[in-house]
Chain A
């Protein structure tokens, strides 16, 4: 096909991006710097440093970091085992990981409330076995638990994809040259799965950092994350300028973190993998 005519097929999409991705971002930035009386101010963006917002923000970062690390620690062995068991039916594995999404996300998080509550299913079960009960509902631990549950597939899938692309020959060659299991892992497997790990971290960290649903359902509504603060500015306080300012601050900080992460691994450049 001629390059010239083919390029134009993207025109409707370019139009869509400008209208519904770029312009809305300009709009929210404009809201963030306007003071509501026609003037301009940076107060709404800097409001993130006010103690009450900053506290929520720091807690969000902490919980999102813990969630990301736990997801990585849980997901990596899964992927290694899948390769060892020679389960090659990629479609099935992806389906098993995506299938839970067809049950409504909020209902699934709510089901954890049923499972984890002080006189819930898990504790009755532990009680029957004579084990001590776990009381984590309405604590930050429960919030992290829910996040790990919901985001784990997004860590497993990209790492799985990048691990499955490693040809067996490379590993065989390393073995023949006398590398032990740990060396193979450190020098080959870890390095070649790093792009998958990075995209997994991105897909877990950003939503974990910004969601307000887990804290609402599993945190008992008393623990404020930055997502809850922003949400309330739009639904209850009706201070759109402040809400936009906090959103822009949040977005900027996340972009900085992601840029640092990408910089730490230049290999991911040009990698268009979806997961």
Chain B
């Protein structure tokens, strides 16, 4: 029992460590003083000014479009890729797994620079190059989420559907897809998260004038970050938190 108490305290301290900066940012978003060092009273002005700040709003729009588009494309390519890889013989299978691992194991700075050097030859750096880069580093997350689910599938389930008269496309949609759906969902969500959180690869593949939230913030660090950024992050963070809590509740109810 004593061990459990210490255990809980330890987990609590780790949580404090992980969430302390988030609390700081949320508090700063309500700080009336422009200085980040002192508390100047409670205010909501950074929230109202947020929507008039076109730099932040443009960056938000770019970040979200980039995240959703790259995750959707990566999920489609990754789903097809995973099904194909799953059917491959041992040697090709190993080669494909190795190649899929490259963007995950390679340092972001090398991936970013390599993509930039290659793409700048035939594309002007801008949204399209950022999109290609994000798709590239997102696909492995999708594949490694779906592949284990595919390997769990009992082939006889699929064959039973075929025996009962379903054609291959129908059997695929009605049998295979529902089984691997959790893998697809988690792959997609991981891809969105990775895309939103990326800085280094975006930094090297972006063009002048196109910014994500990360690159705007990085550019502001020396001059001091505008408080509107804190309020925007707080809104985004709370939205995700609410969605998570709600989906958690929903899944609990389903279990009951």
Contact = CB atoms under 8 A, between A and B. Distances in A.
A16 B158 contact: no
Given A7-B88, A217-B221, A96 B148 contact: no
B199 interface: yes
Interface residues of A, number: 84
A44 interface: no
Majority-rule SS of B interface residues: helix
Contacts of B218: 106, 213
A85 B148 CA distance: 28
A78 interface: yes
A85 B145 contact: no
Contact of B28 (A108, A114, A227): A114
Contacts of A114: 24, 28, 36-37
A231 B111 CA distance: 13
Given A10-B85, A16-B135, A247 B18 contact: no
Interface in A82-134: 82, 84-85, 91-92, 95-112, 114-115, 117, 119-121
Interface stretch (A166-174, A188-196, A201-209): A201-209
A149 B17 CA distance: 7
Given A12-B77, A16-B136, A111-B24, A102 B102 contact: no
Among B80, B103, B197, B241, the one with the most A-chain Cβ atoms within 10 Å of its Cβ is B197
Contact of B109 (A97, A120, A210, A274): A210
A104 B214 contact: yes
A120 B37 contact: yes
Nearest to B20: A115
A12 B82 CA distance: 11
Interface string A133-172: 0000000000000000100110000000000000000000
Interface in A1-55: 1-3, 6-14, 16-17, 20-25, 27-28, 31
Contacts of A85: 4, 7-8, 11
Contacts of B106: 206, 251
B17 A102 contact: no
B103 A21 contact: yes
What band does the interface of chain B fall in when counting residues whose beta carbon is under 8 Å from A?
35 or more
B19 interface: yes
A101 B81 contact: no
A6 to B, nearest CB: 4
A254 to B, nearest CB: 6
B133 to A, nearest CB: 8
A74 interface: yes
A211 B201 CA distance: 11
Among A97, A107, A120, A209, the one with the most B-chain Cβ atoms within 10 Å of its Cβ is A107
Interface of B: 3-4, 7-8, 10-11, 14-15, 17-22, 24-25, 28, 36-37, 77-78, 80-81, 83-88, 96-97, 99-100, 102-103, 105-111, 113-115, 117-119, 132-133, 135-136, 139, 141, 143-145, 147-148, 158, 168, 172, 190, 193, 196-197, 199-200, 204, 213-214, 217-218, 221, 225, 229-230, 233, 236-237, 240-241, 244, 248, 251
Q: What 9 A-B pairs are tightest by C-beta distance, nearest first?
A: A10-B84, A13-B81, A111-B21, A24-B114, A210-B107, A6-B87, A81-B7, A24-B118, A274-B144
Given A28-B110, A99-B240, A100-B22, 5 more contacts: A6-B87, A78-B14, A110-B225, A212-B109, A243-B113
Interface of A: 1-3, 6-14, 16-17, 20-25, 27-28, 31, 74, 77-78, 81-82, 84-85, 91-92, 95-112, 114-115, 117, 119-121, 149, 152-153, 202, 206-207, 209-213, 216-217, 227, 230-231, 234, 240, 243-244, 247, 250-251, 254, 258, 272-274
